[in-house]
Amino acid sequence: MRVQGPGGPGGPGASWDSGHTELLPPGHRVGDWVVTEPIGAGGWATVYAGRPAGTDRPGTAARPREVALKIMPTAGLAPRQARGIAEAARREVEIGVRAGHPRLIRLLDDTVLSAPEQPALDGAIVLVMERARGSLRDLLGAGTTETEGARLIAGICEGLAHLHRAGWVHADLKPENVLIGADGSVKLSDFGLATELTTGTHGHGPPMGTLDYLPPERWRAPLGELGVEIRPSADIWALGLMIHEVFASGAPLFSGATPVARGAAVQEYAAGRAPLRMANGVPEFWRTLAADCLAPTHAARAAHTAESLLERIEARRAGGSLPRVRRSRLRRTARTALRALAACGAVACAIWSYAGHSAPEGAGATRVGTAEPPLQLRVFNAERACQDRTDRDPRCSLGLAIDPMRPYMAGNVVPARVWHADVLDADCQLLRGEVVIDESDTRSTHWFRVRLPSADPAAAADAIAWLPAVRTKDRPPLPSCPAPPGSR
């Protein structure tokens, strides 16, 4: 069940349509409504534009002039399949009735068709919804400005935050299901797979979804009597992918020719065998936000709720006065310099230190709502045997240096150890430190300055250390570190 805008890739006509669904002709009457044109088709439903029947009747002024009619035929289906469709429709209606919100598509009416003279339509479920102008999918290809992208993502977050607060997980979030209203407003739609949180942390939904937007854990999720476990973090994962798509002109984050291939790439990333490779054009703030949404495990993702993400977006928007604009322009200049000249000269480094300095060292509080450091790094241990262990065996631990300008050997290693998949806060990076050679003979002079993981907050204030970049697959867009003492 899916709504696809007319401009979407592979829209009606551009498909392998096997002719299972017969299209209704314009002028066809469906209940109180008249079909004007087909909009799109999905697995179980066909969506038409419609208008009220008998427009000249008095008292119809309150009714919208244009609606979307989602028709889910049940005729000719096995009883269990028909039940599945009825279930999906019930969820849509329930959300429409119980969780109405400006960021969710509005359900105007629902009915079951009785059309004995048309066996294909007899018993079809019809949902009458407000008509949208198109979907996020239609906007992606064209590319959006940062301001417009920010507005779209904020809108999705508002809708999600409301849905999650109301105790539901969308469970099939994707650009096709993010509709854009006539006034440009964002409206989430298609709640056919929406899952009610029965335990507070998760619910159970039918084992369905859209391959490109399934979180990594879903690919291995066991199927139980009630279906698969669905958590709000599944929507957050899909949101992370959409943030990337919005700011990368629709380019999918995970590469591959087919959804299955991209699903395999998601698995490789989640297993720590491949890094997250975001497109260059994604602005820093959104890059960080997307990376948080795309934490590889449900547990790591759970820290980021639709609400907390929305707060960060709003805090950034609120701080959007002149100084911020200037700073962000500066940062962009610096980033370009860095890309052009990986081993940056003194001038570029100076710009970087300046641009990166707005966050006071060691102050974690500046994170929310800004693109400032620290950004998170996931530790990567090249030893395969260590990647699956979670017991923090000392033999699988990795070291951090005290001084990245001195040889990385005993005496230059902090007592604290880190392990594969640990997440560290990094506040800046050093491109030309001492050379480190890893197990696979990769030479690198690239280091990240990280906060030491410590249980003791007092000790954490000045507890920094240096992680060789070969120990992580992440390359967050951090500013350059001020030249450490001893480098000059």
Partner 1 sequence: MSGIVVHLPQGSGGGADGEPGGEAVTLRLGPGEVARFGRGSSRTPVELRLADEAVSRLAGEIRVTDDHWQLTNHSTTQTYLVENPEGAGEYLRVSPRRAGAPIPFEFSRVVLPTRRGTTVSFQVFAPDHVYLDPPGAGGSWASRTVTAYSLDETATYFLVLVALCEPWLRDQSPVAVPTTPQVVERLRGHGTGGRLTARAVSSHIDYLADEKLRIGVAAAAPETGAGGVPGPGDRRNGKRDAVVALALKFAVVREEHLALLPPRAEAGARGR
Binding residues: 70
Neighbours of 388 (CB within 10 A): 11
Decide if residue 385 touches partner 1 (CB under 8 A): no
Tell me, what DSSP letter sits at residue 254? S
Binding residue positions for ATP: 70
Decide if residue 141 touches partner 1 (CB under 8 A): no
Decide if residue 10 touches partner 1 (CB under 8 A): yes
Partnered with residue 415 across adjacent β-strands are none
Least distance from C-beta 114 to partner 1, angstroms? Answer: 22
Q: How far is CA 30 from the centre of its chain?
A: 37
Contact track, partner 1, 176-215, x by CB under 8 A: x---------------xx------------xxxxxxx-x-
Segment interacting with partner 1 (CB under 8 A) among 74-82, 98-106, 443-451, 459-467: 74-82
- Contact positions with partner 1 (CB under 8 A) in 247-276: 256, 258-261, 263-265, 267-268, 271, 273-274
Provide the residue count of the chain. Answer: 488
Segment interacting with partner 1 (CB under 8 A) among 218-226, 417-425, 446-454, 471-479: 218-226
Tell me, what DSSP letter sits at residue 83? H
Q: Is 91 helix (H, G, I), strand (E, B) or coil?
A: helix
Contact track, partner 1, 11-40, x by CB under 8 A: xxxxxxxx-xx------------------x
- Complex with partner 1: residue 16 or 439, whichever CB lies closer: 16
Q: Within 13 Å, how many C-alpha atoms sit on residue 366's CB side?
A: 17
Which of 450, 396, 389 lies closest to 424 in space, CA to CA? 450
Of 221, 300, 302, 423, which lies in the binding site for partner 1, with binding defined by CB under 8 A? Answer: 221
Which pair of structure tokens corresponds to residue 1? 């069940």
DSSP per position, 274-334: S-----TTS-HHHHHHHHHHT-SSHHHHTT--HHHHHHHHHHHHHT-SHHHHHHHHHHHHH
Decide if residue 371 touches partner 1 (CB under 8 A): no
Least distance from C-beta 53 to partner 1, angstroms? Answer: 25
CB 163 within 8 A of CB 105: no
Amino acid in position 382:
A
Give contact residues for partner 1 (rule: CB under 8 A).
Answer: 1-2, 4, 8-18, 20-21, 40-46, 77-78, 80-81, 84, 137, 172, 174, 176, 192-193, 206-212, 214, 218-225, 227-228, 256, 258-261, 263-265, 267-268, 271, 273-274
